[in-house]
Amino acid sequence: MSSKQPQIMLAHDENGAPVLILREEEKRKRLSGAEALSSHIGIATSVAGTVSTSLGPKGRDKLIIDSSGGLTITNDGATIMTKMDSPSQIGKLITSLSKCQDFEIGDGTTGVVVLAGALLEHALKLSKSGIHPIRIADGFETALKIATKTLEESSEKFMIDNREKLIEVAMTTLGSKIINKNLRQMAEIAVDAVLSVADLERRDVDFELIKIRKKAGGKIEDTRLIKGLVLDTDFTHSQMAKEVKDAKIAILNVPLEPPKPEIGYKLIVDSVEKYESLYTTEQAFFTEMVDKIKASGATFVVCQWGFDDEANHLLYQAGIPAVRWALADEIEGLAIATGGSIISRFDDLSPSTLGNAKLVREETLGTQTDRIVTIEGCENEKIVTVFIRGSNEIMLDEAERALHDAMCVVRNLIRDPSIVFGGGAAELCASLAIEQSMEDVSTVEQRALRAFAEALDVIPISLARNSGLDPIKTLADLKAKQKLTKDSAIGVDCMERGTTDMRSQLVFETLSSKVQQFQLATQVTRMILKIDTSIDFTDKEEQGF
């Protein structure tokens, strides 16, 4: 029976970092023992090496081309992992690790993959030296407990009622993103969006109340936060009033068109009298619709369906601006924001079903044909919209990902206002704590603990390498300084500001994010270490089934 490993090729970039090249796998029938472990860890560390160059404020972006030719430029770990589409099941497991970090925390998606790759690489070395994988896994679990306890003890409480401090944390998150040219502006948008919808008493943030709208054109600095909703459309008539104050909004899920019969029919109009009769009937139908809208007290209409030109003209004559072909999620969001009801029959229209907003306005964005409708001062003040502008769709997508990460960090601080210091400071602190605790454990566990500590050092090493610093010298200096001063804020000076004190550089990370990274990376490592046999049943004919 064949036992060939999958063909994996490793190249290296100019900094010596590994780059993954996966060829089409040969049919692998059965791998067991050390062979299976080596194969799995080889794939995982290759994937981790691919994203390690994107770590930190000076990490580089990846240009990803999908099967349809679409382009994505990003340094977001979760996006890179998702777009890679690894053919290996272990590669997919590492991808799910990054997705889990993104779903639970929203930040640290690159770091968790790099750490998992480092843990697996050190685990493989221990395995080759004769230590059983289960003993390695147990040793890693012990080291994780020490690291987690150290992080909690070295963490500091954060004052979430200090908006300026929240902006500083958001700026740390956005420092490595493509939109860092407008760092302060984007950080303010992220913080204000979260604070607008946060329930500080319950320490909860509902992201469903933060709407994201993107529109190509303009500059990234045109991005803004709107305390309300944005409809990517314009008013149905060019001469309608462009602004409605104290608007009473009718939200319609019924078209302003004549009813269409369900069966085929043929209508012959062969005289002036028949034409006038048809016109009068149709006019009466539209007049009745508009009269019901006027009778309800509505001063603005949003419809999910289309308008007949005659109905549109009657609305204009009645002085009621309107929007048609609104999206389903816009209709639902509008109902929640304004307190109105979605109407499916005109007979149900009444003053009690109308939504309320202080201002409805049609805005022109650069050209006469590029317009949006903003609805501000809604009855539900907790609904806001982040309106993102950019030169193209790639920029818009990356700006959305960056703002999402920043908002997640602010949300995490509201949930648990504890911080640790970035720049690899937290990993260095945990690594030193693990090294100091090795005297109290057995010889075999000592080696596993040391491997865990060395794996944690990969984070500051990668940060230093990506920042153009000497990684080995930087690591040695930082560990010596942190050990001497007992200061957990000593980290990599990625931006070369002349100090390694992350506290003065305002480089923070949430405690929940860092603990989650350590836990997820350790869990996936333990999972892979416990695999002793890999069986491929994809080719049953060759297997003899």
Q: Is the pLDDT of residue 8 over 80?
A: no
Query: CATH number, domain at 529?
Result: 1.10.560.10
Would 187 be classed as within a structural domain? Answer: no
In this structure, the answer to whether residues 312 and 369 fall within a common structural domain is: yes
In this structure, the answer to whether residues 349 and 492 fall within a common structural domain is: no
Q: What is the pLDDT of residue 69?
A: 78
Look up residue 181 and give its DSSP letter: G
Q: What is the pLDDT of residue 162?
A: 83
Select the more confidently predicted residue: 276 or 22: 276
- Inter-residue contact 112 to 51 (CB < 8 Å): no
* Concatenated DSSP letters of 482-516: HHHH--TTB---TT--S--BHHHHT-EEEHHHHHH
Mean pLDDT of 34-57: 78
Q: Of 45, 109, 172, 236, which one is the catalytic site residue?
A: 109
For residue 13, which phi and psi values (nearest 5 degrees)?
-85, -170
Is 405 labeled as catalytic in the residue annotation? yes
Would 403 be classed as within a structural domain? Answer: no
In this structure, the answer to whether residues 265 and 346 fall within a common structural domain is: yes
Would 222 be classed as within a structural domain? Answer: no
Is 76 labeled as catalytic in the residue annotation? yes
If residue 99 lies in a helix (H) or strand (E), which one and from where to where? helix 89-104
pLDDT-based confidence at residue 518 (cuts at 50, 70, 90): very high
**CA–centroid distance for 481 within its chain:** 36
Q: Give every CB contact of residue 374 below 8 A, 6+ residues apart in sequence.
A: 226, 228, 229, 230, 231, 359, 360, 361, 363
In this structure, the answer to whether residues 426 and 375 fall within a common structural domain is: no
User: How far apart (Å, rounded) are the C-alpha atoms in residues 538 and 526?
Assistant: 26
Which of 34, 107, 45, 120 lies closest to 522, judged by CA?
A: 120
Residue 460: what residue type? P
Q: Of 50, 74, 95, 110, which one is the catalytic site residue?
A: 110
Q: Of 102, 397, 405, 501, which one is the catalytic site residue?
A: 405
In this structure, the answer to whether residues 356 and 438 fall within a common structural domain is: no
For residue 65, which phi and psi values (nearest 5 degrees)?
-110, 120
Which of 180, 211, 177, 179 lies closest to 193, judged by CA?
A: 211
Using the 3D structure, point to which of 328, 347, 380 is the last residue of a domain.
380
Is 109 labeled as catalytic in the residue annotation? yes
Q: Provide the token pair at 72.
A: 């994505």
How many angstroms separate the Cα of 387 from the Cα of each of 226, 336, 363?
7, 19, 13
What's the alpha-carbon Rg for the chain, to the nearest Å? 30
Q: What is the pLDDT of residue 538?
A: 55
Q: Which domain holds residue 456?
A: 8-156+421-540
In this structure, the answer to whether residues 151 and 237 fall within a common structural domain is: no
Q: Is the pLDDT of residue 453 over 80?
A: yes
Residue 148: what residue type? T
Q: Of 50, 72, 74, 76, which one is the catalytic site residue?
A: 76
Note the pLDDT tens digit of each residue in 416-452: 888 888 889 999 999 999 988 877 776 778 888 999 9
For residue 300, which phi and psi values (nearest 5 degrees)?
-155, 140
Query: CATH number, domain at 267?
Result: 3.50.7.10
Q: What is the pLDDT of residue 50?
A: 81
**From the DSSP assignment, how many helices (H) and strands (E) are in the chain?**
18, 21
In this structure, the answer to whether residues 325 and 430 fall within a common structural domain is: no
Q: How many domains does the chain have?
A: 2
Mean pLDDT of 520-526: 90
Mean pLDDT of 233-257: 89
Among 62-76, 368-382, 489-503, 516-530, the minimum mean pLDDT is found in: 62-76
Q: What is the pLDDT of residue 33?
A: 56
Note the pLDDT tens digit of each residue in 136-150: 998 999 999 999 999
pLDDT-based confidence at residue 34 (cuts at 50, 70, 90): low
Would 205 be classed as within a structural domain? Answer: no
